[in-house]
Structure 1
Amino acid sequence: MAKLTVYQDEDPLGRGEWFGYVTGAHGHIVHNFGPFPAEEAACRHGRSLIGQSADLSDVHVEQ
């Protein structure tokens, strides 16, 4: 099953943009995406890549 992870750019000179990636069943990254201005936008885009609903409850957000 695919796993969606999103994270915020931590570059102190950056704009705080959100990026993400989707990993497949074996843990390999199969999609990278971003930048997005907000966490929710990145989550929704990632969900659309893996063909899942807009439910964001199981999205992993890296801190």
Structure 2
Amino acid sequence: MSAISQISVSALGDSLSVSMRKDLAAHFSLLVADVMKYGNEGLKILIERGWMEQPPQPIDRNKFYKS
């Protein structure tokens, strides 16, 4: 799931970079956002079902310094 989303975003980014048409650039930008949202939802499902571990999260520095 993650690899498919990454490849899709990469391909859309490449298409966006070489397209000279502004209307297609707008569509590609919207598609990138949709693909990323779709990939995030798929990742959440994989984590909920225990098929994948939750990826490392950034440290909450405020909470870290208080302890």
The normalised TM-score by structure 1 is: 0.30
Between Structure 1 and Structure 2, whose CA radius of gyration is higher? 2
Higher helix share: 2
